[in-house]
Amino acid sequence: MPVYNGEKFLGEAIESILNQSFKDFELLLINDGSTDHSIEIIRTYMQADSRMQLIVNSQNLGIAESTNVGIAHANGEYIALMDQDDISMQDRLIKEVTFLDNHREVSVVGGNTFILEGQKNVHERQPLLVSPVLIRWALLFRNQLRNPTVMMRREIFTKHQASYENFSPLQDYRFWLKINMKCWFANIPDNLVVYRIHKDNASNLLSDNYLQILDQTRNEFVKEVIGGSLSNVYGITNPEAIKNTSEAKAVCKVLIDWQKLSNSWKPSNSEKNYITEKTIRKIRDICHFQKYHLTLLPEMLYTIWLETKSAAQC
């Protein structure tokens, strides 16, 4: 758990871990240059629970590097993430440990979250995809894992030499894309964490170059995994942002190649249909915003072929 000036909610976050139904864990808290009473709060809890360990950074490193520090000090087979202002449900850890024990093919598991705004306004967020195949495919378009809910196998860091980079507030999404083709992700269809919304959330403090970092992150993945490059990678998720038919054809090519690549992941029929339907919709939306320009006729014909093929297999 990286900690930076988290005194307001830190106690609740710590207690939610110490009170887990699963008891066999170590709680690492990485103080990242806090100037409030965070260290004092941590030390108070440490006096009563030997499972806690305080690590103090010599300087402020940021969330990404502080997470790397915690991972480097961790001893367990599984590594769970936690934010200083959130609350883990009591059975979170046991559910994740059980899932990873029973699904050796999965390296990262997360889950759904409640949202807490203010003191009492609690509601559920939109449920996440649970299927490893669908999560891998959908990660190109948006983050499919809620970071404070995640538990990972240590081998991600030892075998794949993975680490977090300082690309706030997108360090999580960037990390998932980096390892997306190296391991499988899954989500448990339960709410595992209460995610607190407040003005100082790291995810709310968007940097001025947020879209630039997002485009860079996606484009690096496209180049490495799918091939090619996009001058307007934002168009993958926002077809209305595509400026011309040249950009439109480039985005459609990435969508088609990504859909074709997904067939090598051995998807079930329902997973294949999901990916096919979403790909068709994305390409047709692009064509719509380009006013069905004739240069996009091959892409439109491909969606018709996909639709016909999918219907024949049902």
Strand partners, 110: 187
Q: Give residue limits of the domains in the chain.
A: 2-197, 210-313
pLDDT computed for residue 313 by the predictor:
76
pTM, two decimals, is 0.92
* Closest among 275, 270, 240 to 255, alpha carbons compared: 275
Tokens 């993945």, residue located: 221
Tokens 């909610």, residue located: 9
* Closest among 267, 278, 313 to 131, alpha carbons compared: 267
pLDDT computed for residue 169 by the predictor:
80
Q: How far is CA 309 from CA 63, 109, 141, 202, in A?
A: 47, 33, 24, 45
Nearest 5°: the CA angle 231, 137, 218 is: 25
CA distance 269 to 4: 46
CATH of domain 2-197: 3.90.550.10
Per-residue pLDDT of the chain in tens (314 residues, 90 and over written 9): 999 999 999 999 999 999 999 999 999 999 999 999 999 999 999 999 999 999 999 999 999 999 999 999 999 999 999 999 999 999 999 999 999 999 999 999 999 999 988 666 677 788 899 999 999 999 999 999 999 999 999 999 988 889 999 887 889 999 999 999 999 999 999 999 999 987 666 555 556 678 888 889 999 999 999 987 888 888 999 999 999 999 999 999 999 999 999 999 999 999 999 999 999 999 999 999 999 999 999 999 999 999 998 888 76
Strand partners, 187: 110
CA distance 238 to 286: 9
Residue type, 17: I
- Walk across the sheet containing 27-31 and list its strands: 2-3, 27-31, 52-56
Tokens of 181: 């083709």
